[in-house]
């Protein structure tokens, strides 16, 4: 019996090792060679704007970028067919570095391989070895968790970031409108508003600062605003950038258009707050039914139960007499 279980353990270990080696060996062949343009961009062909608002090359200053470059120099490619979708998702979450998609791929691969190893190590330390079938299922579950957990974390961060940007956008529009009505141009207004909202709305300040830097670097206003909409991932900001671009092309008053749009944004924020307030009674009904209702029933039924018990005790005594 013991020898049979030992043989099962050995077979499972060999199968797991073989699968890991095959995946690592075939990954470069399936993914293919890295695109030449991506390599040139990683070597310094494109500049990125950091959180402090300066244009610099991330490859020379980031440890992550140097580590990823060293890994790719060994022949292991960290790009795949879904790199563009991953890059858009990471941008919405605030990771706009050029090496972010490759770091995400590396993190997901490490988590997929490391979590099963951690599970086996934990079981070995505890000494509670399950059956081979259960162990195999647990390892598969750990590998799936490591594969999908980074994406879930990125999606959650993107949603929180979108909510924070959306909540602070009406106030930012009011400041932008004040700057435009005071006589500033749209380019100078982005720079001034970005400096004013650093403490109150840091995410919007960073986005507006990036627009200002891109305009100073020579990019057209339309391209800079399109990039703002893409990096934010918020439909309201996309509509805002479209409004400014169309007003600029048609020669209409940007201040008048922004005044109407700011009022609509404030109305939408008020409606979202009312919607949340109307959902509170429905959400409170669940804990009330689960916790408060059983307590109230117990309190109401307890005197009757005590009276019934006393009455039954009296009946028992009368029967004994």
Domains in the chain, start-ordered, CATH in brackets?
A: 2-161 (no CATH), 164-270 (1.20.81)
Are the C-beta atoms of residues 87 and 101 closer than 8 Å to each other? Answer: yes
Higher pLDDT, 124 or 209: 209
Q: Is the pLDDT of residue 43 over 50?
A: no
The pLDDT assigned to 144 comes to: 87
The pLDDT assigned to 24 comes to: 56
What whole-number distance in Å separates Cα of residue 124 and Cα of residue 127?
5
Residues 6+ apart with CB under 8 A from 139: 16, 116, 119, 120
Tens-place pLDDT, residues 134-162: 878 888 888 888 888 888 888 888 888 88
SS3 content of the chain, % helix, strand, coil (to 5): 80, 0, 15
Q: How does residue 315 score in pLDDT terms, banded at 50, 70 and 90?
A: confident
The pLDDT assigned to 9 comes to: 63
The pLDDT assigned to 54 comes to: 42
User: In terms of Cα–Cα distance, which of 16, 27, 121, 116 is closest to 78?
Assistant: 27
- Give the position of tokens 């509670």: 128
The pLDDT assigned to 318 comes to: 80
pTM: 0.60
Q: Considering only 14-28, 113-127, 221-235, which range has the smallest mean pLDDT?
A: 14-28
The total of other beta-carbon atoms located within 10 Å of residue 137's CB is 12
Q: Is the pLDDT of residue 56 over 80?
A: no
Q: Is the pLDDT of residue 291 over 50?
A: yes
Q: Considering only 12-26, 98-112, 249-263, which range has the smallest mean pLDDT?
A: 12-26
The pLDDT assigned to 8 comes to: 60
Q: Is the pLDDT of residue 58 over 60?
A: no
Q: Is the pLDDT of residue 246 over 80?
A: yes
Higher pLDDT, 187 or 9: 187
Segment 245-262 mean pLDDT: 81
Q: How does residue 262 score in pLDDT terms, banded at 50, 70 and 90?
A: confident
Distances in Å between the Cα of 281 and the Cα atoms of 62, 265, 271, 288, 290 are 49, 26, 17, 10, 14
H helical segments located in 182-201? 186-196
Long-range contacts of 159-162 (CB under 8 A, 24+ apart): 161/92, 161/93, 161/94, 161/203, 161/233, 162/92, 162/232, 162/233, 162/234
The pLDDT assigned to 35 comes to: 44
Among 4-18, 90-104, 275-289, top mean pLDDT goes to 275-289
The pLDDT assigned to 40 comes to: 39
Q: Is the pLDDT of residue 16 over 50?
A: yes
User: In terms of Cα–Cα distance, which of 230, 191, 241, 232 is closest to 211?
Assistant: 191
Q: What are phi and psi of 287, to 5 degrees?
A: -65, -30
Are the C-beta atoms of residues 169 and 234 closer than 8 Å to each other? Answer: yes
State in Å, rounded, how far the first CA of the chain is from the last one: 67
């Amino acid at each position: 019996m013991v020898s049979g279980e030992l043989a099962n353990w050995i077979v499972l270990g060999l199968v797991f090792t073989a699968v890991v080696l095959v995946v690592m060996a075939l990954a470069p062949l399936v993914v293919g060679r890295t695109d030449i343009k991506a390599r040139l961009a990683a070597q310094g062909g494109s500049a990125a704007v950091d959180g402090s608002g300066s244009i610099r090359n991330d490859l020379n200053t980031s440890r992550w970028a140097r580590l990823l470059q060293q890994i790719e120099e060994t022949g292991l490619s960290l790009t795949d067919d879904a790199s563009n979708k991953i890059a858009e998702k990471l941008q919405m979450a605030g990771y706009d570095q050029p090496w972010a998609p490759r770091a995400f791929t590396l993190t997901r691969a490490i988590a997929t391989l490391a979590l099963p190893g951690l599970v086996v190590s934990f079981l070995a330390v505890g000494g509670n070895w399950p059956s081979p079938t259960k162990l195999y299922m647990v390892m598969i579950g750990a590998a799936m968790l490591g594969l999908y957990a980074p994406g879930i974390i990125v999606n959650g961060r993107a949603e929180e970031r979108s909510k924070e940007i959306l909540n602070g956008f009406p106030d930012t529009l009011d400041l932008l409108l004040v700057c435009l009505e005071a006589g500033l141009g749209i380019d100078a207004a982005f720079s001034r508003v970005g400096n004013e909202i650093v403490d109150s709305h840091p995410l919007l300040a960073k986005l507006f600062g990036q627009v200002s830097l891109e305009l100073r670097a020579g990019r057209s206003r339309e391209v800079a605003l399109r990039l703002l909409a893409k990096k934010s991932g918020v439909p309201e900001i996309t509509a805002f950038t479209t409004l400014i671009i169309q007003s600029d092309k048609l020669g209409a008053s940007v201040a008048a258009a922004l005044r109407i749009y700011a009022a609509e944004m404030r109305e939408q924020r008020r409606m979202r707050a009312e919607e949340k307030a109307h959902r509170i009674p429905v959400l409170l009904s669940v804990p009330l039914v689960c916790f408060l209702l059983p307590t109230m029933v117990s309190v109401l039924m307890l005197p009757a139960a005590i009276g019934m018990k006393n009455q039954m005790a009296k009946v028992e005594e009368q029967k004994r007499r």
